[in-house]
Amino acid sequence: MNNIPIEIITRIIDLKKQLQKASYAYYVLDNPIMEDSVYDQLYRELLTLENQYPSLITPDSPTQRVGDKLSNQFSSIPHNIPLYSLDNAFNFAELKEWENRWQRQLNNVPEFAYVCELKIDGSAIALTYENGILVRGLTRGDGVTGEDITNNLRTIRSIPLRLQIDNPPEVLEVRGEAFLPLDEFTRINEEREKLGENLFANPRNATAGTLRQLDPNIVSARKLQFFAYNAHILPENNNLDTQEQVLKYLTEIGFLVNPNYQVFNNLQAVKKYLDYWEKNRHNLPYMTDGVVIKINSFSLQNQLGFTQKFPRWAIALKYPAEEVPTVVERIIVNVGRTGAVTPMAIMKPVQLAGTTVQRATLHNGDRVRELDIRVGDTVTIRKAGEIIPEVIEVLTELRPENTQPFQMPTHCPECNSPLVKPEAEAILRCVNTSCPAILRGNLIHWASRDAMDIRGLGEKIIISLMEYRLVNSIADLYKLTPFQLVDLDRMGEKLAQKLIQAIQESKKQPFARVLYGLGIRYVGQVNAKILAENFENIDNLAKATQEELESVYGIGGEIANAVFLWFKVPENQKLISELQTLNFSLAIDTKNKQTNQQLFNKTFVLTGTLPTLKREEAKQIIESAGGKVTSSISKKTDFVVVGEKAGSKLEKAQKLGIKTITEEDLLALVK
């Protein structure tokens, strides 16, 4: 004990407290305080530390339990057969390690099979049937003892009160998952919102809360469902040899079994199943949080047996976490192309939604103060809109001693100019138009795929150009020569020539793209197209009053004000003049606008890889012909353009009866 670092001892104590607090909130109060994925990560961290320092394992550690405390609202009854939880894997490598473990125990079995079942995100239930009649239904509880909620379970229509079999076994134990379909979850929350009640955080939380209602009428009104996935029969009545046979048997005697299970002979085949459902699970009418992989043979299962907490013959592979905990190592601020100063947490790298994440946005100073985030804090992060990682919570119970609150800067970290906070905004801004960070951001945006699409002009090269003082504005890009670029890091003569050619080619981009590339605040791709179509050239747009701008459908007061003010800045007027001198396309082709509208008011969705067109090229063809491209299919979609390896969008289009076309069909439509 004397050799164990004090910070390790403190961390273990804090982790145990936090996990016990979370378990109590979840199992006893029916009021979860953290996502399962966050609990799992903290639990694994504790388990890892305890494995490294076994002398620190105590009987009260969450790692030493099968389950957690029970509520005292229902009768507690021992399970006839313990309801074990499952060990978890979080990637295919961990799944392979699990296979290696059980194979070593059985001296490498040559022939075996796996049954893969979707892991339904609900509440585990144990049902007891005597002579075919439902006599008891228990929650999982702590795995050894559960709560008797038989009256509530009787209201679930997919749980048979009598088995559909002439000669039922004397005693049958059925295990399964009670869950709330997504449409019913939405309906319940809408109803609760109207009544001013707290909304359920997710369907799993709603299911747990519903099952433990004291009034069965409330349970009945919420229309829970139940998927059965296991059965235990007295040996003298049992002629089932595999998990697959059990699933078929459950269907025959009247249970609803999830239809998406499959049997595979090796892990590589299992991986294809995992990959498919990771992409397609969001199309299901219920929530899933992973896949359960079981050895099919009961003979092999019996040989493998159980650990203290888990069956050795089954494992749950969890989908990439939506929320995970990690530790803040530094807090920095970034200055963007609009001068916005954004605080950023630099963290211990962690896997989040399938990618490694080390940075997360803190949005602004107000959010920093609200979180009270500090270096050394354990935080929960998620991907905002499934794209940008953000910090959503600080776990203050795990905070180390002597941490200091983070203070936002008063001066720009790039140019040292005083920062300002405009009225009605939460963001600090650098207003120095010569700030290197603003120029760098403008150049990166200008060269981006949706703007001028200058291939090869990435952030690293832009930084080099600025360090060598070769570029001080967007227009300077078009004055560069191959000779100037040769000395840049890893450039060389051929790459220099290729980059110059790409820069010059970008002058052919249409007016709307140039307008978007200018980086005017609030002007995105759609607004840029609206402005280009309504004002037709840069001179008309520059002369427009704020009232004229606001009169355009789709251009609100905020956008109009930003555009109006942008054209009043002398540096921006100079840039436009230089772009005109460089022969940029700063007007739309009015003749083409009038004649090329074959797809007017038609909505398209693109899916899969097209034979010759890139996704952006197909989108440009559709939009230039008056059509609209959206990312998701709805009843308003007119056409789905299908390429190779089309995914769930093709299936959805077929279900909704939406017309699917090929790239060739699309090109024929715009001839």
Identify the structural domains of the chain with CATH numbers, from first to last.
6-64 (1.10.287.610), 87-318 (3.30.470.30), 327-402+414-420 (2.40.50.140), 436-507 (1.10.150.20), 511-582 (1.10.150.20), 603-670 (3.40.50.10190)
Mean pLDDT of 141-157: 87
Least confident stretch, 17-31, 37-51, 292-306, 347-361 = 17-31
- Indicate the residue type of 93: A
CA 598 to chain CA centroid, Å, is 37
The whole model's pTM is what?
0.55
Mean pLDDT of 531-554: 88
Return the exposure string of 165-187: e unless at least 16 CB atoms fall within 10 Å of the residue's CB, then b: eeebbeebbbbbbbbbbeebbee
Secondary structure letter of residue 513 according to DSSP: H
Q: How confident is the model at residue 488 (pLDDT cuts 50, 70, 90)?
A: confident
Return the exposure string of 314-331: e unless at least 16 CB atoms fall within 10 Å of the residue's CB, then b: bbbbbbbbebbbbbbeeb
Secondary structure letter of residue 462 according to DSSP: H
What is the pLDDT, as a whole number, of residue 558? 84
What is the pLDDT, as a whole number, of residue 237? 59
- Give the CA count within 13 Å in the CB-facing half-sphere of 341: 30
Q: Residue 134's beta-bridge partner residues?
A: 129
pLDDT digits (tens, 9 = 90+) for 259-269: 999 999 999 99
Q: Percent of the chain at pLDDT above 70?
A: 93
- Indicate the residue type of 635: K
Instruction: State how far the Cα of 63 lies from the Cα of 68, in Å rounded to an integer.
Output: 11
Q: Percent of the chain at pLDDT above 90?
A: 44
Residue 195 pLDDT greater than 50, yes or no = yes
Least confident stretch, 271-285, 481-495, 582-596 = 582-596
Residue 73 pLDDT greater than 70, yes or no = no
Instruction: State how far the Cα of 149 lies from the Cα of 139, in Å rounded to an integer.
Output: 7
Residue numbers in the known binding site for Zn(2+) are: 412, 415, 430, 435
Q: How confident is the model at residue 32 (pLDDT cuts 50, 70, 90)?
A: confident
What is the pLDDT, as a whole number, of residue 543? 94
Mean pLDDT of 358-365: 89
* Count of beta carbons in the 10 Å neighbourhood of residue 233: 19
Give 539 or 617, the one with higher predicted confidence.
Answer: 539
Helical residues (DSSP H) of 36-120, grouped into ranges = 36-52, 92-105
Residue 27 pLDDT greater than 60, yes or no = no
What is the pLDDT, as a whole number, of residue 516? 92
What is the pLDDT, as a whole number, of residue 28? 52
Give 115 or 365, the one with higher predicted confidence.
Answer: 115
Find out whether 78 and 145 touch, Cβ atoms under 8 Å. Answer: yes
Mean pLDDT of 552-580: 88
Residue 114, classed as helix, strand or coil, is: strand
Mean pLDDT of 32-50: 85
Q: How confident is the model at residue 65 (pLDDT cuts 50, 70, 90)?
A: low
Q: Active-site residues: which are they?
A: 119
pLDDT digits (tens, 9 = 90+) for 464-486: 999 989 999 999 999 999 988 88
What is the pLDDT, as a whole number, of residue 142? 78
Mean pLDDT of 536-545: 93
Find out whether 171 and 124 touch, Cβ atoms under 8 Å. Answer: no
Per the listing, tokens 């104590």 go with: 13
- Indicate the residue type of 509: Q
What is the pLDDT, as a whole number, of residue 307? 80
CA 241 to chain CA centroid, Å, is 39
What is the pLDDT, as a whole number, of residue 384? 59
Q: How confident is the model at residue 619 (pLDDT cuts 50, 70, 90)?
A: confident
* Count of beta carbons in the 10 Å neighbourhood of residue 556: 12
| Beta pairing, strands 323-335 & 428-429 | unpaired
Mean pLDDT of 603-620: 82
Q: List the Cα angle 635/639/640 in 5-degree steps.
A: 100
Mean pLDDT of 369-383: 92
Give Cα separations from 661 to 611, 636, 641, 646 (angstroms).
13, 16, 5, 12
pLDDT digits (tens, 9 = 90+) for 381-420: 987 544 678 898 999 999 999 999 999 999 999 999 999 9
Find out whether 93 and 166 touch, Cβ atoms under 8 Å. Answer: no
Residue numbers in the known binding site are: 36-40, 85-86, 117, 140, 177, 294, 318, 412, 415, 430, 435
Instruction: State how far the Cα of 465 lies from the Cα of 471, in Å rounded to an integer.
Output: 6
Residue 61 pLDDT greater than 90, yes or no = no
Residue 66 pLDDT greater than 50, yes or no = no
Instruction: State how far the Cα of 472 lies from the Cα of 575, in Å rounded to an integer.
Output: 11
Residue numbers in the known binding site for NAD(+) are: 36-40, 85-86, 117, 140, 177, 294, 318
Mean pLDDT of 243-248: 95
Give 215 or 109, the one with higher predicted confidence.
Answer: 109
DSSP string, 249-279: HHHHTT----TT-EEESSHHHHHHHHHHHHH
Find out whether 650 and 611 touch, Cβ atoms under 8 Å. Answer: no
Q: How confident is the model at residue 194 (pLDDT cuts 50, 70, 90)?
A: confident
